[in-house]
Structure formats: structure tokens, C-alpha cells
Structure 1
Amino acid sequence: MTKSELIAELSAANPHLRGQDVELIVATIFNEITAALSRGERVELRGFGAFTVKRREARTGRNPRTGEAVPVDEKAVPFFKAGKELRERVNRGKREGRAASDAKGRTDQGVAA
């Protein structure tokens, strides 16, 4: 899902809000998460997950084209860890989808479901 698709779905689910207001809300949330991460803070959204910043040490890398050694500077990388509820909901969806396809596969093979 893209940011514009998210805004469109939220607008459809909340017809009492103007599209511009929904766009502002989404942009504000993303900006606040970004600002907190840039300050080195952790952002936790209960039931969804946590955003943190991980530090990558400076290292020597390789240019894939020439094989030449290239210095890579230290950097900060945003990291997301899914929360328990999100993982369970995603896995529950996979199991339900798999059960439906398994049942379909059995009937296609002549085995009564």
C-alpha cells in the first residue's frame, strides 16, 4: 500500500473528514515518527510495532563492478520490529488463506471436503 492509497482508504472510511485533512493527519504522523527517530528516540505503536535506530559501524566494502575496496562510513539505519498483535494477525490471515486453498485443492483432486 502506498501513502496515497492509505490516504484514499482513510478518507473513504471517514467521510466526515475532508481529504486534505486526512492527508495532513497522515503526513503529521509520518513526520513525528521521522523526527523522533532522527533524535535517536524509540517510537512504539502498541499492537503494531516499534521503530528504532540502529547504528552501523564504519567498514570496508567492495565495489561490485571493480572489486576495489571502498570505505563505508558509519551510519544510522531505521529499523522496524513488528509487534505481537501484528504478527498474529498477519499469520492468521495466511493460515485462513492456506486453509481455503487446501480445501479447494482437495476437491479438485476428487476428495470430498
Structure 2
Amino acid sequence: MTKREIIMAASKKSGIPQVVIQQCIAPVFESILDALSEEKKVTIRSFGTFYVKETKERIGRNPQTGEDIIVEPKKVIKFRATAQTEKQNR
């Protein structure tokens, strides 16, 4: 689902115009990205947690030549969904 599809679905469910939804969620997404760029966790109750994880250096393989190469460590954004319980679904 794209950001545009989220806006359209939220507009349809709430009856709020798409432009208003866009103006409301844009700062939310920006705030999430700002926090992640500072390597902070972002937890949204009953939804999940976004966090930054650093991968380790590893040995990879060039698929064209078969040569071993060193893949440098990097930081990636991860998401862990909240476990849904029967109570939360009601």
C-alpha cells in the first residue's frame, strides 16, 4: 500500500477530504523519519515499533565473477509489528 492509497483509504473511512488527511499525516511521517535518523525507536501502541539496526560486515560474492567481496556494515530501518490480541481487535 502506498502513501497515496493510505490517504485515499483514510479519507473514505473518515469522510475527511484527502488534502486535509495529507496535511495531517505528512508531519507524522516526517517526525518518524527525524527520530529514526537520530537512531531513536518509534513505538506506536497497537501497531508496532520502528528502529534502526546496524548490520555487521560480511563476506559477499560478486554474482558476475564469483569473486568474494567485503560488504561494509550499514544501518537499516526495521519494523516489528505489535502482537495482536483478541481484546485489541474488538
- Structure 2 unmatched runs, 5+: none
Corresponding position of 1:58: 57
Corresponding position of 1:69: 68
Corresponding position of 1:47: 46
Corresponding position of 1:13: 13
Per-residue deviation, 1:56: 0.6
Secondary structure in structure 1 of the residue aligned to 2:39: coil
CA distance in 1, matches of 2:48, 2:59: 32
CA distance in 2, matches of 1:61, 1:31: 34
1:33-88 deviation line (CA, Å, top 9, x unaligned): 11111101000011111111111122221112221122211100111111122xx4
Corresponding position of 1:99: none
CA distance in 2, matches of 1:40, 1:29: 17
Identity across the alignment (%): 37
1:78-105 deviation line (CA, Å, top 9, x unaligned): 11111122xx47xx8xxxxxxxxxxxxx
Q: TM-score, normalised by structure 2?
A: 0.82
Which of the pair is proportionally richer in helix?
1
Secondary structure in structure 2 of the residue aligned to 1:84: coil
Which amino acid in structure 2 is aligned with residue 48 of structure 1? F
State the 4+ residue runs in structure 1 displaced beyond 6 angstroms. Answer: none
Larger radius of gyration: 1
Per-residue deviation, 1:18: 3.2
How many residues of Structure 1 are paired with residues of Structure 2 in the alignment? Answer: 87
Corresponding position of 2:26: 27
- Structure 1 unmatched runs, 5+: 93-113
- CA-based RMSD of the aligned residues comes to 1.9
